[in-house]
Chains A and B, each alone.
Chain A
Amino acid sequence: MRAWLSLSLLLAGCGVGTTDPTYIALTEARAQVMQVGVEAAGTAVLARREALRDGIATFLTPDGASVVTQDGMLRGTRGLGADMLASDIAASRALVLTMQGWTVERIHTFLDGENHAVPRRFGCIIEVQGPRQIAIGLQQLDTILLTENCTNPEQAFVNYYWVLPTASRVVQSRQWGGAFSGMLVMRDVAP
């Protein structure tokens, strides 16, 4: 994890390509920031919050892709390929934010190669791994680490959530974005 973070910070400093105009406007407006990376690509960028509606936040990356989260839990992606269009994670979210282990079901809807929205249902086991101290900026935060082990007959993944009990939200995570994009790593950035 640490190796990845230092790599990501390195990469974040040398972004190439054109920057999305909306992203520039969000930067100028000092919109809220989150660090997002695609693990397989070894990249990480600072995403800016474009919208917050009914507790669901959309964070835009400099190259115009976005991730959709609710209390730090992933609900969708745009622009990563075979995107996660939307999700039903209500049951997982209720347990993760209250730091309880149990068995739940979640649904992710993905866009496939023929432009179909394909729902995938997963059975998941949420487990509390215990307290972990993590650094966000200069702050040391006391978090609880939970894992969510999800499977269906075709696919399997494990999500990691570092939950800040005092804020009831996921402040750092490693979550599955789908078969095409793989694991996404997200992290709050100190204001």
Chain B
Amino acid sequence: MTLPQYWGQALRLVAAAILICAVAAKGDAEQLSFYGLPGLIDMPSARTMPDGNLAVSSSYLDGNLRNTLSFQITPRLSGAFRYAVIDGFQIDGRTLYDRSFDLHLALLPEGAVMPAVALGLRDFGGTGIYSSEYLVASKSIGPDLTLTVGLGWGRLAGRNGFGNPLGLLSDRFDTRPDVGAGGIGTTGQLDFGAWFRGDAAVFGGMTWQFAEGATFVAEYSSDTYARETERGVVTQNSPLNFGLRYRFENGVDVGVHALYGSEIGVSLSYVIDPARPIVPGGREGAPPSIMRRDLVAGASWNQQPDDAEMRETLRGRLEVAGMDLRGMRVVAEAAQVQVENGRWPVAAQALGRTARIMANTLPPEVNQFEVTFVVAGAPVTTVTLHRDDLEKLEHEADGAALMLAGAQIMDAAKVVPVGHGATLTFGLSPYLDLSYFDPDSPVRADLGLQLSARYSPTPGVLFSGLLRQPVIGNIGDTTRVSDSVLPHVRSDAALYAGGAGPQINQLTAAYYFRPAPDLFGRVTVGYLEPMFGGISAEVLWRPVHGRLALGMDINQVRQRDFDQGLGFQDYDVLTGHASAYYAFDNGFAAQIDVGRYLAGDLGATFRLDRVFDNGFRVGAFATLTDASFAAFGEGSFDKGIVIEVPLTWLSGQPTQAVVRQVLRPVLRDGGAQLQVADRLYDLTSGYRADELAQGWGKFWR
């Protein structure tokens, strides 16, 4: 790859990030190294990014391209996923495409005298070309100067290495096994047998912010680029590297670097703070204000002998506010309404708007509002509010907190769902499918049109379909044929993408029901997902108050034809999992699935997400099954990173749409799960007590 080509690709990468966050970032973001984590140029520092920050960065020097996604997982721990392209690095002169993971742990925060200290692992589970570890200290001198010194192992011990100080503890630290020795087949496995072993060496450097946004960086590198030099990829004449960086107002950081006394390198990075959407709290219009109750009493619909006009007024007003009234009953002083929220991404906001509309519509003697949220025809949660509280707290400084304190949140299993005739909705929209990390074309895409339809004849019964017509794309163009020894349950993805269309992405009949308090049920039949069809059943226990949920699903499915038409292939499988979900109170959510996967392999999936209260999620997952690392093939086991961005985070407009990207280093057949739409945990998410409380700031919005 040439420099202009690099800029083209790097610009595309960063342009995407800038597009989504034109105003989000500010100048307090941390300086990132060529490896995408806090650091100098090639060398790391002991600094950290602000908690929760997500960074995309790209660096290039003579044939070496590194694209990194990094995330400050907790205030102390950050992680990075990197996709590197190195021209001519392979023994036969071919280009190397390499995926790697890093971790960076802050051990000590910086004090008045003491420096910040951090420990890091680079490329701890890839092919090991960047395999190295470090212990590093950084200290700020005044507001503009930071000094860094560190001790490196592995690749970071290339220059002036000396006997490992850890050798004092044990002889086994003295030599470092070759982590790349197992070849492509062992990638993905942790190389902990090599960590902090072999020679160590010292590195260091400084950063100096000499003007607003402008920084000078200098480092003494302990990395000799031994293999790159040997293979003629990089020439290194000096251990000293220098760089100039500039961070624009909008958060884009651009750098030019003089490296190894022989090369010019460039860098580009952008940092996002998921806690700060484009428009905090949204840009949608104002909710209705609560009217004086005597004026509401005097309204024409409250002067009628029956309540038909009042009900119609309520239905109409809720509809304008994005809520579908599914049922209503007035018993003495209490009004019970069932609503389906079709617009608001935060349930508390839907609740607040519904309550205000009720206050402005219902007769004056009604004092208690019982709002039941209905999802897919099944009642989920009932929140009881007092009309007096609404009137009293609407404009009070602590109105949100007091409203929550007075709200009663209960499971709605006993609420009888009420239908109001059949409902039918259609949608026509463009779609974009992305496929990553094919060595011939690291990003492939398919673009087309999709037609969706949902028909519900009666509460809880839902027929839905998604028909796609690809228009342009190259996912199916890959020449790589699956070499998997397992049943090809996922690795033939390109064959599924290659058809002319139309493709039946999904065509199902589903029934959602409440078998008992805190229990949810689902049965889905049909073409469940692009590659499999059959029958899927699920039950979920999710108490309205509580952080733990347990679920179970069982599916008898058959593999679909590659053209995604109506036909099936010969392979069928019984797959299913027992799942446990736990929402920690520090913003993390964990999920463990244990069961049988699509290829018939038995095992478990572990997933951990950092969940922001605005719905932005960054997570990672890994699946280990009885399919051996060798049978799995490249990557050894299934793993990946998931990023979910609510569309409202990007647009400021109220919508429940979510942009979701799963980044897998490689997609193969082991540990593959069926992808059924509207799984019960997702469906009920947002409406249980803790989640209602998390978004409660929007009650009055």
Closest chain B residue, CB of each to CB of A80: B283
Pairwise interchain contact B280-A111, C-beta atoms closer than 8 A: yes
Pairwise interchain contact B281-A86, C-beta atoms closer than 8 A: no
The answer to whether residues A117 and B697 also contact, given A82-B281, A180-B280 and a CB cut-off of 8 A, is: yes
The residues of A that contact B8 with a CB separation of less than 8 Å are none
Residue-wise, chain A 108-128 has the 8 Å CB interface mask toward B (1 for contact) of 110111111111000000000
Compute how far the CA of A116 lies from the CA of B348 in the bound complex, rounded to whole angstroms: 11
Pairwise interchain contact A111-B698, C-beta atoms closer than 8 A: yes
CB-CB contacts below 8 Å: B457-510 with A:
none
The answer to whether residues A113 and B277 also contact, given A51-B289, A65-B285, A85-B697 and a CB cut-off of 8 A, is: yes
- Report how many residues on chain B are interfacial, defined by Cβ distance under 8 Å: 40
| Interface membership of B97, Cβ < 8 A | no
Pairwise interchain contact A119-B397, C-beta atoms closer than 8 A: yes
The answer to whether residues A86 and B397 also contact, given A78-B701, A114-B613, A116-B697 and a CB cut-off of 8 A, is: yes
Residue from B283, B292, B320 having most chain A Cβ neighbours under 10 A: B283
Closest chain B residue, CB of each to CB of A88: B397
- B285: contacting residue among A20, A82, A88, CB under 8 A: A20
| Interface membership of A151, Cβ < 8 A | no
Pairwise interchain contact B281-A58, C-beta atoms closer than 8 A: no
Compute how far the CA of A99 lies from the CA of B553 in the bound complex, rounded to whole angstroms: 69
Compute how far the CA of A52 lies from the CA of B697 in the bound complex, rounded to whole angstroms: 23
Q: Flag the segment in B80-88, B332-340, B398-406, B528-536 that touches A.
A: B398-406
CB-CB contacts below 8 Å: A75-112 with B:
75-76, 78-79, 81-83, 85-88, 107-109, 111-112
Min CB distance A29 to B, Å, is 13
The residues of B that contact A60 with a CB separation of less than 8 Å are 286
Interface of A is mostly: strand
Pairwise interchain contact B395-A112, C-beta atoms closer than 8 A: no
| Interface membership of A68, Cβ < 8 A | yes
The residues of A that contact B322 with a CB separation of less than 8 Å are none
| Interface membership of B637, Cβ < 8 A | no
Compute how far the CA of A7 lies from the CA of B691 in the bound complex, rounded to whole angstroms: 45
Residue-wise, chain A 121-165 has the 8 Å CB interface mask toward B (1 for contact) of 000000000000000000000000000000000000000000000
Pairwise interchain contact A22-B281, C-beta atoms closer than 8 A: no
The residues of A that contact B652 with a CB separation of less than 8 Å are 81
Closest chain B residue, CB of each to CB of A21: B320
Compute how far the CA of A117 lies from the CA of B403 in the bound complex, rounded to whole angstroms: 12
The answer to whether residues A58 and B613 also contact, given A79-B284, A111-B697, A115-B695 and a CB cut-off of 8 A, is: no
Min CB distance B54 to A, Å, is 14
Pairwise interchain contact B285-A117, C-beta atoms closer than 8 A: no
CB-CB contacts below 8 Å: B253-301 with A:
275-277, 279-292
Pairwise interchain contact A114-B614, C-beta atoms closer than 8 A: yes
- B701: contacting residue among A50, A83, A88, CB under 8 A: A83
Pairwise interchain contact B613-A116, C-beta atoms closer than 8 A: yes
Closest chain B residue, CB of each to CB of A120: B397
| Interface membership of B700, Cβ < 8 A | yes
Min CB distance A15 to B, Å, is 15
Compute how far the CA of A71 lies from the CA of B277 in the bound complex, rounded to whole angstroms: 33
The residues of B that contact A63 with a CB separation of less than 8 Å are 285
Closest chain B residue, CB of each to CB of A119: B397
| Interface membership of A64, Cβ < 8 A | yes
Pairwise interchain contact A113-B276, C-beta atoms closer than 8 A: yes
Compute how far the CA of A68 lies from the CA of B287 in the bound complex, rounded to whole angstroms: 12
CB-CB contacts below 8 Å: A174-191 with B:
180
The residues of B that contact A109 with a CB separation of less than 8 Å are 397-400
| Interface membership of B62, Cβ < 8 A | no
- B398: contacting residue among A111, A113, A119, CB under 8 A: A119
- B395: contacting residue among A76, A82, A118, CB under 8 A: A76
> Which B residues are within 8 Å of any A CB, using their own CB?
275-277, 279-292, 320, 346, 348, 391, 394-401, 612-614, 652, 694-698, 700-701
* Contacts A/B (CB < 8 Å), 21 sampled: A50-B289, A51-B291, A53-B292, A64-B284, A64-B286, A66-B289, A68-B289, A78-B701, A79-B283, A79-B284, A79-B286, A81-B279, A81-B283, A86-B396, A88-B397, A111-B281, A112-B281, A113-B280, A115-B694, A115-B697, A116-B697
Q: Besides the contacts A112-B275, A115-B348, what 4 more A-B pairs have beta carbons closer than 8 Å? A: A58-B286, A82-B280, A113-B614, A180-B279
